[in-house]
Structure 1
Amino acid sequence: MLLRVNAQMWKQICALQRSSAGRCPSIATQFRRKITQQAQQPPKVEWTTSIPKKDKDKITALGWFLLLIPATTFGLGCWQVKRKIWKEQLIKDLHKQLHTAPVEVPEDLSQLDDMEYRLVTLRGHFLHDKEMQMGPRSLIRPDGVETQGGLFSQRDSGNGYLIVTPFKLADRDDIVLVNRGWVSRKHIDPATREVGQVKQEVQLTAVVRKGESRPQFTPDHKGGQVYLYRDLPKMCASTNAAPVFLDAVYDAKSPQNSPIGGQTRVTLRNDHLSYLVTWFSLSAATSYLWYRQIVRRIPF
């Protein structure tokens, strides 16, 4: 089609040239060359991408789905902040309970299940022939500092054991377990602290505690008088005591070499600070990756 149009144009130009100056052969030759060159050159084609630029910048459904990762980790970090505040307040409340006025041991001992860390007073006498040891443990001094060694009067020689003794309540047939306190290794044998083995009826103040589950990798108790943790079922079975465990408070007037009371540990795990730092760090890292890959489309 293009060649026919050019040929007609060439004929018209030749006719004009013949009537003018006879220069038709030279002009016609130049025009023919130009037409031939145009015919030999391939037509220019403007290629366009199949995806419009507006669609290329659009975030896909998968991109929005991946945004759930930084959003979820941020939410978990906020949740750990609330958990940290709650745990710190709970620890404060427990410490406050340790300094409130004590109450008498209730007639129904099952009520003590809801009174952990409460101070109670009780009266009766110890059954020293069924004494047990729990440990090894480090000493908690009256000022609250836990020591691994050093000197605390003449009774602190580092690690030792807690002396757990059945206690028969006065005017009742109930027997409970009382953690009298800490003794050094050299005073584990009751014969080395006979002055502290009080046989008459006494009145004492103690903190209500609960039993413990067997820690991981800790061997099970198969008998004997030495325990690694508060294994209430085994302790009560060997002493015929009720499932009640009490920590005696510190008594500055206790005889020399007798167990040192006040060994209550408020053992509430509080790792929420490390958890919230971890979750917020993951949220920041994944948010940056999402912005780089999904929004900016910057490859690694």
Structure 2
Amino acid sequence: MTQQHPKVDYITSIPIAKKKDKITALGWFLLIIPATTFGLGVWQVKRKIWKEQLIKELDKQLHMEPVDLPDDLSQLSQMEYRLVKLRGRFLHDKEMLMGPRSLIRPDGGETQGGLFSQRDSGNGYLVITPFQLADRDDIVLVNRGWISRKHTEKETRSLGQYQNEVELTAVVRQGETRPQFTPDHKDGQVYLYRDLNRMCKSSGAQPIFLDAVYDPKAPEGSPIGGQTRVTLRNDHLSYLVTWFSLSAATAYLWHRQIVRRIPF
């Protein structure tokens, strides 16, 4: 008896390649994220270059020849960091202190000092004194310079308390807004920052603030001038690193999810 085998049909199947999935409109829209963050990174590069150039220009102004104090004091609002010459006398009875501050030495170095430092050699205050201009009624504020903690009382530096008319060279400065987390001033004599409104109200001065330059001939115990800091924030390096990092991360995610369709 002949055994019959079931008939088997062999069908050869050739896989047909799938058509590559197209990127949807939503996928293209999401590309905006890495593109935008990259653009912001490029913008911060330009801002960094601009800020560094501005700081150089302001520092250059500190070494230019001084000009006479203008008759119209309002012009000083456009002259920050310019050197000016002025003549008059100090009103020591209305003297104020600002600090604590570290000392900027004549060579440009800076001592370590601050709110919690107790070292007299590096920690002290700036002496802010109203200055009556000669041949006019205007009074301006002059930062005469730095003193240590042990010289905060006027009697300890009597040789530097000029009573006669003097001529000064000083740097034009602007007022400051209250820095974040900075407490209020201790009293009407010690200030934590250049609060022109309160300083002028208590002294009767115009809202003009000048930093006296360093005077090597000043008597011993006098405030040490030359305490000008070019205070322009330059955080653009950290900003551009942040934006470029976000751009790289989001570009990688976009390529993985939208182009290659690789799930996490």
Which runs of structure 2 are paired with 1:103-252 in the superposition (5 Å)?
103-148=67-112, 157-221=121-185, 223-252=187-216
**Alpha-carbon shift at residue 222 of structure 1 (Å):** 7.0
8 Å Cα contact 1:250-1:262 kept in structure 2: yes
Q: Which runs of 5+ in 1 are unaligned?
A: 1-25, 150-155
Q: Are residues 1:290 and 2:237 paired?
A: no
Cα RMSD (Å) of the superposition? 2.3
Contiguous gaps of at least 5 residues in structure 2: 114-119
The code of the aligned residue for 2:157 comes to R
Q: Do 2:188 and 2:202's aligned partners in 1 also have CA atoms closer than 8 Å?
A: no
> Helix, strand or coil for the counterpart of 2:202?
helix
Of structures 1 and 2, the one scoring higher in RCO (CA 8 A, sep 6+) is 2
What secondary structure, in the 3-state scheme, does the structure 1 residue paired with 2:19 have? helix
Q: 2:40 aligns with which of 72, 76, 81?
A: 76
Look up the match of 2:18. Answer: 53
Give the 3 Å change call, closer, same or farther, for CA 222–139 of structure 1 in structure 2: closer
Aligned in 2, Cα 1:222/1:159: closer, same or farther, shift over 3 Å?
Answer: closer
Once the two structures are TM-superposed, the CA of residue 113 in structure 1 deviates from its matched residue by 0.7
Give TM-score, length-normalised by structure 1: 0.80
Deviation at 1:202, TM superposition (A): 0.2
CA distance in structure 2 between the aligned counterparts of 1:108 and 1:71, rounded to whole angstroms: 50
Determine helix, strand or coil for the equivalent of 2:194. coil
Match of 1:14 in 2: none
Identity %: 77
- Whose Rg is larger? 1
Q: 2 CA distance for matches of 1:144 and 1:76?
A: 35
Mapped partners of 2:18, 2:24: distance in 1: 14
Matches within 5 A, 1:34-53: 53=18
Of the candidates 243, 268, 271, which is equivalent to residue 235 of structure 2? Answer: 271
SS of corresponding position for 2:247: helix
State the AA in 2 paired with 1:85: I
**Matched AA of 1:181:** G
- Asked if residue 262 in structure 1 is aligned to residue 235 in structure 2, the reply is no
Q: Normalising by structure 2, report the TM-score.
A: 0.91
| Residues 102 and 205, structure 1, Cα contact 8 Å, conserved in 2 | yes
TM-aligned CA deviation for residue 54 of structure 1: 2.2
In the TM superposition, structure 1's runs of 4+ consecutive aligned residues that sit over 6 Å from their partners are none
Please state which structure has a larger fraction of its residues in helix: 1
Q: Per-residue CA shift, 1:206-254, capped at 9, x if unaligned?
A: 0000100011122233742000000000000011000000000000000
Asked if the contact 1:136/1:228 (under 8 Å) is kept, the reply is yes
2-structure distance, mates of 1:197, 1:270: 38
- Tell me the distance in 2 between the aligned counterparts of 1:197 and 1:161: 16
1:70-128 alpha-carbon deviations (Å, 9 max, x no partner): 11111011000000000000000000111111111111111111111110000000000
**Distance (whole Å) between structure 2 residues aligned to residue 85 and residue 99 of structure 1:** 22
